[in-house]
Amino acid sequence: MRDLKRAEARLDQASAAFVDLLNARFDQWGLTAAERDVALFAIKGLSVQEMARLRETSEGTIKAQTAAIYRKANVTGRPQLLSLFIEDLMGADRSNPADIESAA
């Protein structure tokens, strides 16, 4: 039972650290509140249609917001956006190609 509680505590810490990482990146990129929501949905893997339904907006608006997110994050799409967070979690320095290659 103690091991389970320790594992749950570690998972809570990791979750909190990931949320902090997301917010730090979103702040760094200057995302609007709407862009933050869309970025989080994109990271979770939701489709444009699902995001539009949840945000009660058009698919065109979601596409424009994702384009703005990718531009601000200096990536070309969702896979690169996700890789930024994976690299951060793995401790890679994106400005140093050697760190990225060794993390892969």
- Note if the pTM is more than 0.85: no
The CA-to-CA distance between both ends of the chain, in Å, stands at 36
- DSSP state letters, 19-47: HHHHHHHHHHHT--HHHHHHHHHHHHT--
Q: What is the pLDDT along the chain (104 residues), one digit of tens a residue?
A: 888 888 888 887 777 888 888 999 999 999 999 999 999 999 999 999 999 999 999 999 999 999 999 999 999 999 999 998 888 878 755 555 444 444 44
pLDDT of residue 4: 82
62 in Cβ contact with 55 (< 8 Å): yes
Per CATH, domain 2-103 is 3.30.413.10 = no
Place of tokens 């902090």: 20
